[in-house]
Amino acid sequence: MLKILNNEQVTDLPLISQFMSWFWLCSTKVNIVSSSLLFYFFIFSVTPSYSQFKKTPKSIFQTLQQGNMTGVIIETDLDSIINHRNRNTYQPAIFSHADVRGNIIKHDIRIKPRGKFRRRVCDFPMVKIDFSKKDLKERKYKKFDDYKLVTHCMDTMNDSFESIAREYLAYKLYNILSPDSYEVQFLFITYIDTKEVVPAFQHFGFIIEDTAELADRIKGEFRKDVDGLKIDSINAIQHDFVALYQYMIGNTDWRATPIPRNIKVFKKENEIDHKLVPFDFDFSGLVAAPYAVPNSSLGQRTIRHRIFQGTENIADLDKSTRLFFLEKKKKILKYVKRFSLLSKGSRKDVTRFLETFFKELEKISSKNSEE
């Protein structure tokens, strides 16, 4: 059901209006003339029932997990974010969303541009959101306040939506393989300029779980000082598990040592070795972002040319790792098939790309069994 949110209430539109609005949003750039205009969010699958949320949510992130897509409003000095993206200082903003009862919740937050590559090449930079700890405490949320927002890169709605949805899918596929992974929530965002210099606009994006929140969930502790990390301090099997996933989605834009790139390093209680949590998959073949380029230092020919970056060859990997991925094949391909944020053609493209990985893995496993 399509829901419309304004400053006062949330209302439902008939199903036919949902499809008309979806076509409109995906084919044109939305123009908004004032902050009082409505913004839209979609639920493509079964919405969680209200009874599931009777208890106070544990974090602000969990309140945003209301189906496949949630609508939010960000009000701030947009000209400053867009034209002064190289700074590393926060600016004030207001973050609004609807709770499961339909009440409009507003938070005074701070935001700043983030990232290195994308803030250079994109029309709109990636954003870091800092909620007020005091505000969260007063609302009886947990203290987790630091979130990354993956935003549109190009102003063109169609191109940006495709890349965002595919990268979001990459996170969701890793969720299937490992609980030690970042949870994400897809968003439809209305941006409103408080200085009224930049016209308000709407785009898609997704929010990434706070690292401290992830640590609390998996009962682990993340290492802050990671420079000079040695490979023998990392659990070898888990390292190659991550490497095999990166190979599956065709991502070479990562490393664990000596200075981790697009990797968080953590250690669980009563464990000696460190483990890894991957993030940032926009340079993967699965996402195939328009700005992504092959990794020439590894000899990558195209963005979809897979290169394995594990400690062993794939054929020499721990057998249980290969078998685990093969056991998850059906579930992964089924998830892609039902991933309604992408068109049927895009889902077929992703499926074909993943099937080449599984065929290679099956061939290796079959050969090893014969030997």
Rounded Cα–Cα distance for residues 219 and 216 (Å): 5
Same domain, 76 and 208: yes
Rounded Cα–Cα distance for residues 253 and 284 (Å): 7
List the domain range (segments joined by +) for residue 204. 3-215
pTM: 0.87
Same domain, 211 and 327: no
Point out the domain boundary residue: 193, 215, 237: 215
What are φ and ψ of residue 54, in 5° steps?
-65, -35
Same domain, 201 and 235: no
Point out the domain boundary residue: 215, 243, 268: 215
**Tens place of pLDDT per residue across the chain (371 aa):** 334 344 434 434 333 233 334 433 333 334 433 333 344 433 333 344 443 445 666 899 999 998 889 999 999 999 999 999 988 899 999 999 998 788 899 999 999 999 888 888 899 999 999 999 999 999 999 999 999 999 999 888 877 899 999 999 999 999 999 999 999 999 999 999 999 999 999 999 999 999 999 999 999 999 988 888 899 999 999 999 999 999 999 999 999 999 999 999 999 988 999 999 999 999 999 999 999 999 999 999 999 999 999 998 999 998 999 999 999 999 999 999 999 999 999 999 999 999 999 999 999 988 777 66
pLDDT of residue 68: 87
Same domain, 139 and 264: no
Rounded Cα–Cα distance for residues 337 and 342 (Å): 9
Rounded Cα–Cα distance for residues 257 and 260 (Å): 5
pLDDT of residue 53: 46
Same domain, 202 and 229: no
Same domain, 200 and 331: no
pLDDT of residue 5: 42
> What does DSSP assign to residue 11?
E
Same domain, 184 and 223: no
Same domain, 25 and 97: yes
- For tokens 């230092």, the residue is 297
Point out the domain boundary residue: 171, 189, 215: 215
Domain count, the chain: 2
Same domain, 191 and 283: no
Same domain, 253 and 162: no
Same domain, 157 and 58: yes
pLDDT of residue 371: 63
Same domain, 263 and 199: no
- Please give the single-letter amino acid code of residue 100: V
